[in-house]
Structure 1
C-alpha cells in the first residue's frame, strides 16, 4: 500500500497538518553528541515555534531566506520552518566558495540568512540579518503561526542555484505547484510504504535529497533517519540502529557499498568464501529472472549482517551504470532509479524495481511528457534513434530567476524545456540517457563541473594550445594539444601549475597528449562524444606508467619528515600507481575515499602508520595533505605497543576463536579436507612441490600469492594431513558469523575473524596471538585477489607480524588457479593447479632485507621477492610433475 499525502494548496498548509500523524516517529538524528528523536507531534510544535520566530525576524510570504549550514536535524527544521512561514527557501552548499555565496546574496537579496556557528563568520556584513539555525526552535514558546491563506501555488517555494552553460550559477525557482505535483506523483507509485524508515545520508541542499529524501518522507508520515555524518561508520550505524528500509543515495555511495562487500568476501576463509560465492552466483542468476526477493532469501546471512530491514535503494543525482545496477539487484535489493534535473523538481523518469533493463532511466512519471528532438548541427553521427531530450509537465519550472535571455534559450517556441541531455527510447518506452548535449559534466557523486571553464584555465598556460576535459572511469581527465614541442614532464608541471588556480574537485587527475587538433563542429564547439575514444587512443599510444608529479613544496616536504605521514604517502602511491598523486589531490573526488571507502582503507592506513583516525578527523579531511596532517597528529600508540601484547587487543569472545577444534569435530574436519583434496585432484590435477619444507612442529607462517577463489582449497589440499594440525586462516569473516550454520563452518575451518568494526590493528594482533599460541597461520599478503594474475604489492600487515615474532615464513606460489578461475569469470574451468612451497625464511632475515623504509616494510618487500623468486624458478624450469 502506498503512502498518502493530505490535500493542500501549498506546502505551508501541508506542513501545518503534520501533527495529524500524532506520536508516530518523524525524525531520528544519530548525532555525535547523542541521538535525537522527534515524533510528528513534537516536530509540528518545533516548526510552529521556528516559523513564528522567522516571522518575528521579518520573514513574510514570499520573503527569501538563505540557508547556509551543515546538513542535520537543525538544517531540516530550519528548511521546513521557512516553508511553513510562507517564505522562499534558498538552500546553498555550506562549502560553496565565497564568490558563489556573494553572488547568491547579491542576486537573490534574501531578507534573512540562517546559518550555524561554524559558517556565521562568512555571513557577517552580508546585508541581511543573520540567525543561527541550531537554536531556531529551542527558545521560549512563541505565538502560533497564523494560517497564511492566499499563497499562490505558482509562486516560488524553493530556489536552488545550479551551474549553467556559462557564467555564474543561475537561480532555479520551484513553485509550490511544482513540488506538490512531484510529491504526490512519487507517493502514488508505491515506493515508500506506511511504516518505512528512510535513511538520507546526502547533503540536503541539492534538489534530489531535499524533495525525495526530506520532503517526501515527512509529508507522507514515515520515519526519516539522518546520520550524524557522511562517513561510512555513521551511515552504517544509522542503517543498523535505525532499521532503515529505504536508502536514498547516489551511484558513488552504492559503488562504495558494493566494493566494501566484495572486499570482505574476498578475504573470507576458503569454505566460507566458496559457500557464499555459490550463493551469490545463484542470486545473480535468479535476480533478473525471478526477482530480487529470491536473491534476498539466498543471501539472507549477508542482509542480517549489514542491514536486515533494508529493501529499497533509491538512486538519483547521476547516472547509475548498468553493471552496478545489476550487481545491487543480484544482492537482493530492489533498485529504483530516477532521472531529472533541478529545473524539473527533479524527477522526469523513474525506473521502478523490475521495470526496463539495467542501466535504463525508466519511463516518464505520470503527467510528464517527453520527446526527442533532432540533434544539433555537427552531432549527426550520434547513435541511431538518439536525440535531444525535451520535456514539459507540472514539474517543470517556469524559468530562471531574472534571466530572460537564458529562458529563451532553455525553452522551445512551443514551450518544451530543453534538458541539455541526449537520449533514446527503447521499444518499451524506457529512456536511455546517453550523456549531456551541453558541456556540463555530472560526476558520479552528483557534482556539476563546467568543462569549458576548466579548459580555459589549462589553455591559459603557454605550453597548452587546446584542452578538453572529460570523465573516464569516473575520474576527471584531460586531452591536451601542446602549443609547441615540449616534454611530458614540462607539460605535467604546466598542469600542476594551472591546477592550483582551480578548486580541488575541478582538477584533472590524469592527461593524455595528442598532436592533432581536436574535432569540432562547424560552429567551433568540441565534439565531446568523440573525446573518450581519442583519449583512449592517446593513452594507448603513449604507453608506460604515468610521469612523476611536480616537485613537492617545502611545507609538504617538512610534513613528510614525520615517519607516519611518510608511510601513508608511500602507501597511497602504491595504491594508486596510475594517478599523478599530489598533496592537493582531493580524497573524495580524486581518490574516491568518501563514505564507505574510508572503511575499506582504514585497515591499510592503520597497519602502515599505526594511526587510528577518528570520525571527527575523517570529517576534516578534504585533501591528501589534510590526511597526512591528521595521521601525523593522531594520538595513538605505534604498532609495536599494541602488538607486543596481542591478547590485550582481543576481547573474550575473540579469544574463543583461538581455541583448538574440539576432538569430536576432528572427523568432520578430516572429511572436509579429504573431499577438498579429491575435488582438487580430479578437476584440477593438483600437484605439490616443496612439501618437505613444512616444519614438523611449532608455529610457522604460510604466505601465498592470491589470484583466485581456488587458492585456499588448493593450498588446504596441498597441506594434506598437516592441514589437520593447528592451522589457522586469517580473513574477514563478518558475513560468515550471521547464523549458527555460518559460525559452525568458520569454527571448523579455524578462521580468525578480522572485525572491521574494531580498531584495525586488533586484526594484526589476532594473527600474532595465533602464532604465539603455537599455531600455523595462512596469511594472503596481497590482501585481495589479483585482477590480472600478476603478483601485487604485499600489504604491510605481514611485516608488522614478522616484526614481533621470529617464526619460519614459507613463501608459496599457487600456479594455475588464476587461469582456472580469474576474478572476472563467474565460474571456474578445469585445468592444472600446482602448489609450490618454498624453503622457510626466518623473520629476522626478512626484516633485515634491503631497501628503504621501516623494518616491516622491508620485510613485506623481501617476502614478495621470495614469492616472485618461486614464480621465476617455475617459469625457467621444467613443467610441474
Structure 2
C-alpha cells in the first residue's frame, strides 16, 4: 500500500470477528498479578513518594498526577509483549516505584529541575517509566520516536541544548552524541559503547537514599501549574519543526476536560496503544487512561490485528488512515463475496443510512449553520417520522443479520474510539456510521491538544463536535484577523487553559500564533453551526491561490478523488498556476484488475509508465471532480500525473500520514509544472 506501518497494521486486520474469534491462548505475566483496586484506606504509601490527596485527575500538575497514580496500588497499569503468546504487565505502584528510583538516579548524577530531557524511544513500558521519572524529577521531557530523522534530531538537539536524553538503541545514542557532545544518555536497550552512556537496567537496580527521596518530594512540591511539562516538536507539515511548550496546568486541564465530555474510563477498561506516543494525540489519550486507572496495552503495526482480538480493548485512539484502510478492506471483501451477500450488505447500509438519518432529524442532530425556529424543528421531525417507521423493521433485521457480522470483524468490543491527527474523509465517516460504528472524530493540534470532539450518543456527522468544556471558539477573517459573526466561514481561533505557552526560543512564531486575550490561531478554516458543533473545511496555509486569483481548498477535492478504489494517495496542486492538477499514487491491485492485467509485477512504477493506466486515472479524477458533483469551474482538476513511487513516511508524509505540501512541491516540481500549465 506504500504507507509504511499503516499498511503493516492493516495487512492482517481480522474480518472474521473480534469477540467471536477463536484466538490463540495467551498468557499474562505481572510483577504481582492484577487484583481489584484496593480501597483508599488500604492503598499502600510508597516510601518517600509524595502521595497527593484525591484522584490523579484532581492534581494540579503532571508530577503530582504520577505521584497519585501510585495510590492505584495493585491495579494493572500497562502491558507489553514478551513473546508471540505472552504479555508482561506492571502494576501501578510498581511502575511508579521504578520511575521514582530512576528519578533518584538522575538526581544523583546532577539532573536539575526544569532541565530539558530528550526521550527518543517508541511506546512501551520503558517510555512510560522514563516519562514518569522525568516528571517526578521536576524536569521537562522532549519526546520523539526512535525513527527520528537526522534533520529533526539536529534541530531538536540544537535548539534545546539538552544535557540528558533517553535513547532506544546504541545507534540512536551515537546520533544524539554527535549533535550534543556533552549530553549524558540513558541507553534503554543494548550495551553502552561510550563513557557518557548509562545502561537502563543499572539505574533501575540502584537503591535510592532517604536524602534523594526527600529531595524528590521537595521538587514535586515546588512544581507550579505554569511550569513546563513538555516540549513537543511539531510534525513540520509546513516547515521546520517548532517546539511547542506545554505547561503542567495545560495538560491537567486537558485531561479534566476530556473527563467532562464524558469519555468514561475505569479500572476495568483497556486502551490499545498503536499511534506514535510522542504525538500529542496518543500521548493525551495514554495519560488520560493512566489517570483514570485504565490499563495501557502496547501493540505494534505487525501485531495489531492479533492484539485487537486478544486484548479486546474498550477504547483506542486512532488516526483517519486506519479507518480509510479498513473501509477499503471491507469493501474489497464484500466485492469478492457471493452476489447475494453483496446485495444484503448494500441493502443493510441503505436501510441503516435512512433509519439513522431519520433518527438524527427527529432528535435534532442534523448539522445546521443557522438557528432553526421551534416550528421548523418540529416540522423536520414530523416529516421524518414516516421514514423512521418505514425503515424500522428492515433496519432491525438487516442490522442484526448482516451488519452485526461486519461490526464484529472491526472490533465491536470497542466502547469508543476517537479519530484524530487529521480529518476523517466524509465518505469513510458515512460508511462506518451506516455500519453502526460511529467514530468519535476529534479536533486538536500540538499547540492545543484537544479542542473539540463528538459527544458519545449525540454525534453529529460531518462535524468534529462541540468544543470541550473550558474551551472557547471564535472564527476570524484569515487576512485581517477581525472576528466574524456566527454562520460565516473563517479561521478557527481557540482559547482555554489547555493552550500552549508558546514556541521554544521562537518569539516571532509565538507572537504570530498567540494573540491578545489568550486566543490561539489554529491555521484551520471552519464553520460553527447553530448547534455549537465545529466543521473543518480546510487549512489557511493549504489554500491554493490560482493565477486567476481564485482561492481553492484542496481537502474536499482530495476527499472526492480518494473515494475511487483505484486511488491510494492523492495531492492536489496548483499554487500560482493556470489550473489545478493532481499527483496520484494508484492502488495497483485494483488498477490491474480494472485493466485486465496480472497483479504480479504491476507496481506503482509500472502503473506510472502504462499509458492506459494514466488515461483511466484521468477519466476517474474527471468523473469524481466535476460540475455534476457540485464543484465550481476553477475547482476542476485539469492535469493528472501518476507518481512512480508512493509518498514516503518521514519525507512527503508525517508519521500520521499528513502531507508535507512544501516537500511535495519541491520533490515533484517538474510534474507539477507539466500538469498545471506552468510556464
Residues 362 and 469 (structure 1), Cα distance of their counterparts in 2 relative to 1, 3 Å cut: closer
2:407 aligned residue (303, 328, 332): 303
Q: Is the 8 A contact 1:390 1:417 kept in 2?
A: yes
Q: Is the 8 A contact 1:156 1:174 kept in 2?
A: yes
Match for residue 385 of structure 2?
Answer: none
Q: Provide the C-alpha distance between the structure 1 equivalents of 2:500 and 2:484, rounded to a whole number of angstroms.
A: 32
1:265 aligned residue (331, 334, 341): 334
1:51 aligns with 2:103: yes
Q: CA shift at 1:60, angstroms?
A: 3.1
Match for residue 200 of structure 1?
Answer: 273
2:70 aligned residue (19, 27, 40): 19
Q: Provide the C-alpha distance between the structure 2 equivalents of 1:595 and 1:107, rounded to a whole number of angstroms.
A: 24
Residue aligned with 2:221, SS: coil
Q: Is the 8 A contact 2:122 2:146 kept in 1?
A: yes
Residues 270 and 254 (structure 1), Cα distance of their counterparts in 2 relative to 1, 3 Å cut: same
Q: Provide the C-alpha distance between the structure 2 equivalents of 1:88 and 1:296, rounded to a whole number of angstroms.
A: 50
Q: Provide the C-alpha distance between the structure 2 equivalents of 1:512 and 1:397, rounded to a whole number of angstroms.
A: 32
Could you say which structure has the greater relative contact order, defined with CA pairs below 8 angstroms and 6 or more residues apart? 2
Match for residue 287 of structure 2?
Answer: 215
Match for residue 627 of structure 2?
Answer: none
2:418 aligned residue (296, 311, 314): 314
Q: Is the 8 A contact 2:407 2:437 kept in 1?
A: no
Q: CA shift at 1:585, angstroms?
A: 3.2
Q: Is the 8 A contact 1:280 1:330 kept in 2?
A: yes
Q: CA shift at 1:184, angstroms?
A: 1.1
2:580 aligned residue (535, 545, 558): 535
Q: Provide the C-alpha distance between the structure 2 equivalents of 1:593 and 1:260, rounded to a whole number of angstroms.
A: 23
Match for residue 432 of structure 1?
Answer: 535
Match for residue 553 of structure 1?
Answer: none
Residues 566 and 236 (structure 1), Cα distance of their counterparts in 2 relative to 1, 3 Å cut: closer
Q: Provide the C-alpha distance between the structure 1 equivalents of 2:133 and 2:114, rounded to a whole number of angstroms.
A: 13
Q: Provide the C-alpha distance between the structure 2 equivalents of 1:210 and 1:576, rounded to a whole number of angstroms.
A: 42
1:136 aligns with 2:200: yes
* 1:469-484 correspondence to structure 2 within 5 Å: 472-473=557-558
Q: Is the 8 A contact 1:67 1:91 kept in 2?
A: yes
Q: Is the 8 A contact 2:157 2:176 kept in 1?
A: no
1:124 aligned residue (177, 180, 188): 177
Q: Is the 8 A contact 1:88 1:158 kept in 2?
A: yes
Match for residue 140 of structure 2?
Answer: 88
Q: Provide the C-alpha distance between the structure 2 equivalents of 1:91 and 1:593, rounded to a whole number of angstroms.
A: 16
Q: Provide the C-alpha distance between the structure 2 equivalents of 1:535 and 1:380, rounded to a whole number of angstroms.
A: 31
Q: Is the 8 A contact 1:509 1:590 kept in 2?
A: no
Residues 244 and 100 (structure 1), Cα distance of their counterparts in 2 relative to 1, 3 Å cut: same
Q: CA shift at 1:107, angstroms?
A: 0.8
Q: Extract unaligned runs of 5+ from structure 2.
A: 1-53, 190-198, 366-394, 547-551, 563-568, 587-597, 618-639, 658-679
Normalising by structure 2, we get a TM-score of 0.64
Q: Provide the C-alpha distance between the structure 2 equivalents of 1:313 and 1:437, rounded to a whole number of angstroms.
A: 28
Q: CA shift at 1:105, angstroms?
A: 0.9
1:73 aligned residue (103, 122, 125): 125
- The worse-fitting range, judged by mean Cα deviation, of 9-18 and 406-415 is 406-415
* 1:465-614 correspondence to structure 2 within 5 Å: 472-473=557-558, 518=577, 534-535=579-580, 566=601, 578=617, 584-586=645-647
Residues 167 and 277 (structure 1), Cα distance of their counterparts in 2 relative to 1, 3 Å cut: closer
Q: Residue by residue, what CA displacement relative to the aligned partner does 1:366-392 show, whole Å, maximum 9, x if unpaired?
A: 111111123416999999711222221
Residues 511 and 41 (structure 1), Cα distance of their counterparts in 2 relative to 1, 3 Å cut: closer
Residue aligned with 1:106, SS: helix
Match for residue 372 of structure 1?
Answer: 475
Q: Provide the C-alpha distance between the structure 1 equivalents of 2:653 and 2:509, rounded to a whole number of angstroms.
A: 35
Q: Is the 8 A contact 2:272 2:308 kept in 1?
A: yes
Match for residue 151 of structure 1?
Answer: 223
Q: Is the 8 A contact 1:296 1:333 kept in 2?
A: no
Match for residue 403 of structure 1?
Answer: 506
Q: CA shift at 1:393, angstroms?
A: 1.1
Residue aligned with 2:58, SS: coil
Q: Provide the C-alpha distance between the structure 2 equivalents of 1:590 and 1:402, rounded to a whole number of angstroms.
A: 25
2:433 aligned residue (304, 308, 329): 329
Q: Is the 8 A contact 2:79 2:88 kept in 1?
A: yes
1:230 aligned residue (301, 305, 315): 301
Residues 137 and 274 (structure 1), Cα distance of their counterparts in 2 relative to 1, 3 Å cut: farther
Q: Provide the C-alpha distance between the structure 1 equivalents of 2:415 and 2:237, rounded to a whole number of angstroms.
A: 38
Q: Is the 8 A contact 2:476 2:482 kept in 1?
A: no
Q: CA shift at 1:356, angstroms?
A: 5.3
Residues 355 and 29 (structure 1), Cα distance of their counterparts in 2 relative to 1, 3 Å cut: same
Q: CA shift at 1:174, angstroms?
A: 0.3
Residue aligned with 1:363, SS: coil
Q: CA shift at 1:205, angstroms?
A: 1.2
Q: Residue by residue, what CA displacement relative to the aligned partner does 1:136-160 show, whole Å, maximum 9, x if unpaired?
A: 3674253274322110110100111
Q: CA shift at 1:4, angstroms?
A: 6.4
Q: Is the 8 A contact 2:335 2:342 kept in 1?
A: yes
Match for residue 110 of structure 1?
Answer: 162
Q: Is the 8 A contact 2:96 2:129 kept in 1?
A: no
Q: CA shift at 1:564, angstroms?
A: 12
Q: Residue by residue, what CA displacement relative to the aligned partner does 1:281-339 show, whole Å, maximum 9, x if unpaired?
A: 33333344458997975633233344241131201111122322222222222421211
- The worse-fitting range, judged by mean Cα deviation, of 568-577 and 346-355 is 568-577
Residues 570 and 158 (structure 1), Cα distance of their counterparts in 2 relative to 1, 3 Å cut: closer
Residues 74 and 322 (structure 1), Cα distance of their counterparts in 2 relative to 1, 3 Å cut: same
Normalising by structure 1, we get a TM-score of 0.50
Q: Residue by residue, what CA displacement relative to the aligned partner does 1:103-137 show, whole Å, maximum 9, x if unpaired?
A: 21121111211111152231233221111134636
* 1:448-847 correspondence to structure 2 within 5 Å: 472-473=557-558, 518=577, 534-535=579-580, 566=601, 578=617, 584-586=645-647
Match for residue 98 of structure 1?
Answer: 150
- The worse-fitting range, judged by mean Cα deviation, of 321-330 and 379-388 is 379-388
Q: Extract unaligned runs of 5+ from structure 1.
A: 442-450, 456-467, 478-507, 520-533, 540-544, 548-562, 597-881
Match for residue 36 of structure 1?
Answer: 88
Q: Provide the C-alpha distance between the structure 1 equivalents of 2:322 and 2:107, rounded to a whole number of angstroms.
A: 38
Q: Provide the C-alpha distance between the structure 2 equivalents of 1:509 and 1:373, rounded to a whole number of angstroms.
A: 30
Q: Provide the C-alpha distance between the structure 2 equivalents of 1:88 and 1:352, rounded to a whole number of angstroms.
A: 33
Q: Provide the C-alpha distance between the structure 1 equivalents of 2:291 and 2:130, rounded to a whole number of angstroms.
A: 16
1:180 aligns with 2:252: yes
Residues 256 and 564 (structure 1), Cα distance of their counterparts in 2 relative to 1, 3 Å cut: closer
Residue aligned with 1:349, SS: strand
Residues 245 and 509 (structure 1), Cα distance of their counterparts in 2 relative to 1, 3 Å cut: closer
Q: Residue by residue, what CA displacement relative to the aligned partner does 1:13-60 show, whole Å, maximum 9, x if unpaired?
A: 211222322322221224666532222233223322332333334333
Q: CA shift at 1:394, angstroms?
A: 0.5
2:515 aligned residue (392, 412, 436): 412
Q: Is the 8 A contact 2:585 2:642 kept in 1?
A: no
Q: Is the 8 A contact 2:234 2:243 kept in 1?
A: yes
Q: Is the 8 A contact 2:56 2:66 kept in 1?
A: no
